[in-house]
Amino acid sequence: MKRENPCGRISKDIRPGQSAHTTNNWLFTRTLYTKPLGFDHLQSYGARVLFTAVMVLNCTCTKAPSLQNHSKEQDTLAIHINSSLPYNHIDVFVFSDTLTRPLESHIRAGNSRFLKVPSEKGDKTVVALADVHGVFDGALPEKFSTMENLSMDYADENPEAPLQGGLCSTGNGETAELEIQPLLCPVVIQSICIEADAPLINATVKLERVNAHAEILRKDGFHPSFTLDNPTGLRHPFMMIREIPFDICSSPQEPGITLFCYPNEDDDGPGGGGTVLKITGTLAGQEENFRIPLGRIQRGAKLVLDIALKK
C-alpha cells in the first residue's frame, strides 16, 4: 500500500505573508519578513547570538577640522540608536547640512543606545555604523558624499556581529532617532523533505548568485554588479553553504540551518541574477541538484523556507 507523502500538504495552508512556488521537481513556501526582526534564535556553528546589556566602558570622540578652532556656538547633540540586533561597538558621524556637508564630529562608543556628541547648532545629517570592520582603513570620510558611497563586501561579513547602518536628519535641539539595519539577510531552512523512492543522502544547501557587495546606507534598489557562487575567500563560509545533518526523506524534518546573503532585487527569470538556493545530494547512487530561486530580497528581509523536493 502506497504511503501518502506528507510533503504534499505544504502548499495547501499558506499563511499571510507567504507565497508558494512550484516547478517540476520542488515546492516550497517562502515566508518573507520585511521588517527587521533580528537574527533571534539563529545558530552559527552552534553558537547563539545573545544580547547582554552592559554599560559603555569607553568612548572616544574626534572633532573634525571645522570644529578645532571654531567661532560658532557649540552645542551637544543627543542620539538614540534603534536596532533589532545587539552590537559590540558603534561609530556615529555628524555632518553639517551646509553646502558641502562636511564632517563635524565622530564618536566611537561601546554598545550604548544613547549617546551625546559635540556639535555646532544647526541642521545635521547623522550616520551610525555598528560593528564596522575593514571599511575605513584608518581614514574617516570628510564629507557626507564620501560616506554615502561607502560599501561593504559580503566576504568580510560576520553573522555573529554583522555590520549595521542607518542615517537621519535632525536639528533645532532635537534628539536624533536612528534606526540601523544589517545588510545581511537570514535565509532559514525551516523544514525539508523529498518525494522519491529513496532518501536524499549526504546533502548540502548552498546559496548562489549572492550579491558580492552593497552600499552601507542604501535602503533599496540593490542590483548586483558582481555575484558569488561559492564561498571561497569568505571569512565565514557557513554563511553560504552548510551540510544537512540527516538523510532527507518523505517526512518533513527541521535541519536548524540558517544561511545569510546580501539584498538582491534582481529578477529570477531566465537570464536574471536573483539569488538561488541550491540543494545537492545523492539519490539512489546518483548526484542530484535542485535549484530554488528565492525571489527579490530587500534589505531587512528574513526568509523562512519550508521545502518539498520532488524527483
Q: Does residue 162 share a domain with residue 78?
A: yes
Position 173 scores a pLDDT of 75
Q: Does residue 196 share a domain with residue 304?
A: yes
Helix H or strand E segment including 8: none
Residue 267: give the domain boundaries: 6-33+183-310
The ranges of the chain with pLDDT < 70 are: 1-74, 134-138, 269-271
Position 75 scores a pLDDT of 77
Q: Does residue 127 share a domain with residue 102?
A: yes
DSSP track, 219-255: -S----SSEESS-TT-SSGGGTEEE-SS-B-SS-B--
Q: Are strands 176-179 and 74-82 parallel, antiparallel or unpaired?
A: parallel
End residue of a domain, out of 154, 182, 210: 182
- The secondary structure of residue 272, as a DSSP letter, is -
Q: Does residue 193 share a domain with residue 136?
A: no
Q: What phi-psi label fits residue 233: left (phi over 0), alpha (psi between -120 and 50 degrees) or beta?
A: left
Domain count for the chain: 2
Which of helix, strand or coil describes residue 145?
helix
Position 74 scores a pLDDT of 60
Q: Does residue 169 share a domain with residue 196?
A: no
Q: Does residue 102 lie in a domain region? A: yes
Q: Does residue 146 lie in a domain region? A: yes
Q: Are strands 114-120 and 164-170 parallel, antiparallel or unpaired?
A: unpaired
Other beta carbons within 10 Å of 44 = 17
Q: Does residue 174 share a domain with residue 188?
A: no
Model pTM above 0.75: yes
Give dist(CA 138, CA 135) in Å, integer: 9
Q: Does residue 47 lie in a domain region? A: no
Give ∠ CA 246-250-254 in degrees, rounded to 5: 45
Q: Does residue 20 share a domain with residue 112?
A: no
Q: Does residue 1 lie in a domain region? A: no
Q: What is the pLDDT of residues 227-286, one digit of tens each?
A: 999 999 999 999 999 999 999 999 999 999 999 999 999 987 666 789 999 999 999 999
Q: Does residue 275 share a domain with residue 198?
A: yes
Q: Does residue 282 lie in a domain region? A: yes
End residue of a domain, out of 155, 182, 209: 182
Q: Does residue 50 lie in a domain region? A: no
Buried b (16+ CB within 10 A) or exposed e, 54-89: eeeeeeeeebbebbeeeeeeeeebebebebbbbbeb
Q: Does residue 220 lie in a domain region? A: yes
Position 269 scores a pLDDT of 65
- Strands of the sheet containing 103-109, edge to edge, are 59-63, 103-109, 90-96, 124-130, 164-170, 181-182
| Residues in contact with 153: Cβ distance below 8 Å, sequence separation at least 6, in sequence order | 134, 212, 213
Q: Does residue 48 lie in a domain region? A: no
Q: Does residue 189 share a domain with residue 306?
A: yes
Position 272 scores a pLDDT of 76
Q: Does residue 221 share a domain with residue 207?
A: yes
Q: What is the CATH number of the domain that holds 153?
A: 2.60.40.2580
Which phi and psi (to 5°) does residue 204 adopt? -130, 155
Which candidate, 236, 214, 114, places its Cα nearest to that of 164? 214
End residue of a domain, out of 182, 210, 229: 182
Q: Does residue 68 share a domain with residue 25?
A: no
Position 172 scores a pLDDT of 73
Which candidate, 127, 168, 170, 169, places its Cα nearest to that of 150? 127
Q: Does residue 217 share a domain with residue 154?
A: no
